[in-house]
Structure 1
Amino acid sequence: MTWVVFYKLLAIFITVAIGWFVGHMRWLGGRDAGGQGGDPARVLSAAAFYIFVPALLFRTTARVDFASLPWLMLGAFFLPLALLLLLVYGVQRRRGAGRVAPALPSVQAITVCFGNTLQVGVPLAAGVFGEAGLALHITVVSLHALVILSLLTVLVEHDLARAQPGQSLAATLKATVRNTVIHPVVLPVVAGLAFNGLGLTLPAVLDEVLQLLGTAVVPLCLTLIGMSLAYYGWPRQWRGALGLALLKLFALPALVLLVAHWVFGLSGLPLSVIVMIAALPVGSNALIFAQRYRCHETEVTAATVISTLAFVLSAPLWLSLLTRFS
């Protein structure tokens, strides 16, 4: 653990604390101010989900050079990630969690699989692996949100459509497709892919606007974590949040290490980079996803805080283990 990473973690906690203080003081209004739509945490979350995150996703997808991507390394990362995502989702569905809250299996899956690749991941990659490692990290990050959010959007929208009483299979499929495509996450991704596929280049002014909007995602999300703690409190059943945090910090990187090394044959710097991406604490986009579907925001907030605190101890363990594969 380098001092750069430590300072970044400290900055994260200070930003979260600012959000908590603002929420605790009710400077943006009470949780029930102005009715259901007046919940400040939900209002800010909606702004992130409908404005800032779509801008970031569209700009990323429109600019990425798919021809030059290291597909072997990406496959070694995203295949085990998708396996664990679907496993968590399937287990929760089998346990009947979806009957209580249709979005719960998807919310828990994103909490286990979505890492803090920007605020923590970038300084970690730069400080530990240098410029070459940072370049590999950025490559994975360019597809990280696109893959996870798109896959989970399909799953959660299907579950929500199925939960509607008296709806036929055809109506369920139609609602799933409509709500998946016309969605603040998937629609900018599809538009960005089309823009990219046509070989178009973003005009300078539009690129500047999208970049400006995208930069708001990080501070807004961190502030939301603190505000959510102030408004919703700590979960009474904290073991669920602890379990999600442990899966994120240990199960996901272990699975990525096994698949990437023994199935894809990766070693050295590429292996170390993707394992440490998998070992990152829960990313704040998981909370935005939970708030979008009004499902277990308290548990996701707690898992984010717990995993970020525990990362100070878990990161050196993974870095020490990875020296054996260098």
Structure 2
Amino acid sequence: MSVDLFLKLFTLFVVVGIGYGAARAGLTGGVVGLRTLSNIGFLVFVPGLLFRTTATVNLAALPWRLLAAFFVPLLLWALGVWAWQRRRMVPGTDDPAAPATRAVTLSFGNSVQVGLPFAAALFGEEGLRLHVALVSLHALLLLSPFTVLAEADRARAAARHTGALAIGETLLTIARQTLVHPVVLPVLLGLAWNLTGLALPQWLDSVLKMLGQGAVPLCLVLIGVALDQYGLGPRWSVPAGMAALKLLVLPALVAASGVLVFHLDGLPLSVLVMAAALPVGSNALLFAQRYRVLEGEASAVIVLSTAGFALTAPLWLMVLAWWRVAGG
């Protein structure tokens, strides 16, 4: 890993540390302050970022084979985690949104704060263009379906608990809570605007761009505040194991998909694998905070996977170099 990339990772830890220090100094208002910061991020900054991304992306120019090679195994992996966690749930004890939250934590990579400078430094302009294509659909294809699953699981649990909701009313509740949601609604509105073919007014684009830029530092500060609130927890081995799964197993699955199913090689394969090998992104913590479940675990996995990325990124680059030499 180059010195420049190491310094960028170090910068992320500094901002997280600032959030942690502010929380330790009592400047963030404890649990109430954490909720407030989380709500600002999830209800203001992230919707602005999602709307602008989906409203302005050029759908016709996207490299669809690369996207399929990345998102098909990624979504299958996330759905597998969700299904496995649902089977292990204890009804009446575990939060119904926990399986979807763990699925997002084990799947959502830091494709912006770490991914963009990493792709630019390693793969140049062409590689960055391919990585940006992945970024443009990342939140849409991961957060939206698992928001639906989290809302559906909670609605079904509520119906079983009260016995008051009929099937039709349950479905209506799921649909309402899913559509009127700070992730799904801006994505749908952005896609609707995109399909009109109209450009965003300059003033609106400037506002949305500013909100999107604010999401990055706020999310990093939130990680530090959450670490002060929850710590790594007594069972720190659990988030460490989750970080290892994200950094080692998921990239292997995506690499296998790219080679064996979609027959990619060269630069597209390298961009694909390194995007899957990124550490967990801060949106995983926002998702956990939205449902008030596994927040400490999510923050711990983010920090541990970011630190671990300094070791696993060179490993995956060596694997890719070996594959090129072997004639893959």
Return the TM-score normalized by structure 1: 0.96
Please say if residues 228 and 298 of structure 1, whose CA atoms lie closer than 8 Å, have aligned partners that are also in contact.
yes
Aligned residue identity for 2:313? A
- How far apart, CA to CA, are the structure 2 residues paired with 1:51 and 1:220? 11
SS of the residue aligned with 1:200? coil
Matched, 1:103 2:97: yes
Aligned-residue offset at 1:233: 2.1
Cα deviation code 1:191-249 (max 9, x no counterpart): 01110101111000000000001101110000000001112222111122112111110
Aligned residue identity for 1:136? L
Superposition CA RMSD, Å: 1.0
Cα deviation code 1:128-184 (max 9, x no counterpart): 111111111011001101110111111101011111121332222111111111111
Aligned residue identity for 2:152? H
Moved beyond 4 Å, runs of 4+: none
Q: 1:34 maps to which residue? A: none
- How far apart, CA to CA, are the structure 1 residues paired with 2:238 and 2:286? 19
Cα deviation code 1:105-132 (max 9, x no counterpart): 0111001100011111111101111111
Superposition pairs of residues 296-307 of structure 1, within 5 angstroms: 296-307=294-305
Please say if residues 92 and 98 of structure 1, whose CA atoms lie closer than 8 Å, have aligned partners that are also in contact.
no
Change (3 A) 1:143 1:77: same
Please say if residues 110 and 152 of structure 1, whose CA atoms lie closer than 8 Å, have aligned partners that are also in contact.
yes
- How far apart, CA to CA, are the structure 2 residues paired with 1:206 and 1:301? 32
1:208 pairs with one of 206, 210, 220: 206
* Identical aligned residues as a percent: 53
Q: 1:11 maps to which residue? A: 11
- List gaps (5 residues or longer) in structure 1: 32-38
Aligned residue identity for 1:190? L
Change (3 A) 1:178 1:246: same
Aligned-residue offset at 1:97: 5.4
Change (3 A) 1:69 1:98: farther
- How far apart, CA to CA, are the structure 1 residues paired with 2:322 and 2:75? 26
Q: 2:306 maps to which residue? A: 308
Matched, 1:146 2:144: no
Aligned-residue offset at 1:29: 2.2
Superposition pairs of residues 1-326 of structure 1, within 5 angstroms: 1-31=1-31, 39-96=32-89, 99=92, 100-164=94-158, 165=161, 166=163, 167-326=165-324
Please say if residues 115 and 283 of structure 1, whose CA atoms lie closer than 8 Å, have aligned partners that are also in contact.
yes
Return the TM-score normalized by structure 2: 0.95
Aligned residue identity for 1:112? L
- How far apart, CA to CA, are the structure 1 residues paired with 2:11 and 2:66? 31
Change (3 A) 1:119 1:98: farther
Cα deviation code 1:7-37 (max 9, x no counterpart): 1100000000000000001112233xxxxxx
- How far apart, CA to CA, are the structure 1 residues paired with 2:66 and 2:217? 30
- How far apart, CA to CA, are the structure 2 residues paired with 1:261 and 1:97? 39
Please say if residues 98 and 293 of structure 2, whose CA atoms lie closer than 8 Å, have aligned partners that are also in contact.
yes
- How far apart, CA to CA, are the structure 2 residues paired with 1:125 and 1:90? 32
Aligned residue identity for 1:68? A
Please say if residues 231 and 300 of structure 2, whose CA atoms lie closer than 8 Å, have aligned partners that are also in contact.
no
More deviation, 91-100/217-226: 91-100
Please say if residues 290 and 300 of structure 1, whose CA atoms lie closer than 8 Å, have aligned partners that are also in contact.
yes
More deviation, 158-167/80-89: 158-167
SS of the residue aligned with 2:30? coil
Aligned-residue offset at 1:324: 3.0
- How far apart, CA to CA, are the structure 2 residues paired with 1:105 and 1:118? 25
Please say if residues 53 and 136 of structure 2, whose CA atoms lie closer than 8 Å, have aligned partners that are also in contact.
yes
Aligned-residue offset at 1:98: 6.5
Give the number of equivalent residue pairs: 319
- How far apart, CA to CA, are the structure 2 residues paired with 1:28 and 1:259? 44
Aligned-residue offset at 1:323: 1.3
